[in-house]
């Protein structure tokens, strides 16, 4: 269960927090709090780094909250895992994260917002991937 900002215990389950934020039942700050220590999964490229895709809305990297979500997104693939905090530290400037891009509640996270606002800016994606 996700509790609001009125206090109480916050779930440490990243997929549950992502779902709650996508449904506007939890805050971006709660997502950030869980994200920083959570394990996330990405497709492993041949060289160190992450796969970055160019979209009409800018560059993004697909990041998954579980191996199941990674399989839904990329199928059978080579992968790596890291913490959300480590991924943010390694992400090239200007690259957004699409969290669980093939899931039922994909979120686009703009890490650049962390520098200015100490929070996350979220774009809610519809079923076709538009925001």
Predicted local confidence at residue 130, as pLDDT: 59
Is 62 in a helix, a strand, or coil? strand
| Poorest-pLDDT segment among 26-30, 34-38, 108-112, 121-125 | 121-125
- Kindly tell me if the per-residue pLDDT of 6 is higher than 60: no
Predicted local confidence at residue 129, as pLDDT: 59
* CA 98 – CA 3 distance, rounded (Å): 24
* CA 111 – CA 97 distance, rounded (Å): 8
Give the orientation angle of helix 28-35 with respect to helix 14-22, to 10 degrees: 160
List pLDDT tens digits, range 84-131.
Answer: 999 988 888 889 999 999 998 888 888 866 543 445 566 666 666 555
Architecture label for domain 39-124: 3-Layer(aba) Sandwich (3.40)
The pair of three-digit structure tokens given for residue 120, joined into one six-digit string: 């996350």
Measured CA angle at 29 (ends 93, 1), to 5 deg: 130
Considering only residues 61 and 116, tell me which one the structure prediction assigns the higher pLDDT: 61
Strand 107-110 relative to strand 121-124, pairing: antiparallel
Within 10 Å of residue 99's Cβ, how many Cβ atoms? 28
**pLDDT > 70 fraction of the chain, expressed in percent and rounded:** 76
Confidence of residue 8 (pLDDT cuts 50, 70, 90): very low
What's the residue count for the chain?
Answer: 131
């Amino acid at each position: 269960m996700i509790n609001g900002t009125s206090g109480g215990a916050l779930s440490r389950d990243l997929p549950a927090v992502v779902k709650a934020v996508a449904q506007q039942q939890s805050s971006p700050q709660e997502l950030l709090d869980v994200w920083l220590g959570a394990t996330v999964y990405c497709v492993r490229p041949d060289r160190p780094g992450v796969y970055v895709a160019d979209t009409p809305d800018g560059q993004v990297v697909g990041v998954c909250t579980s191996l199941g979500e990674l399989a839904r997104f990329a199928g059978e693939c080579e992968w790596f895992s890291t913490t959300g905090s480590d991924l943010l530290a390694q992400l090239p400037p200007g690259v957004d994260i699409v969290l669980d891009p093939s899931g039922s509640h994909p979120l686009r996270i703009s890490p650049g917002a962390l520098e200015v606002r100490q929070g996350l800016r979220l774009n809610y994606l519809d079923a076709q991937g538009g925001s």
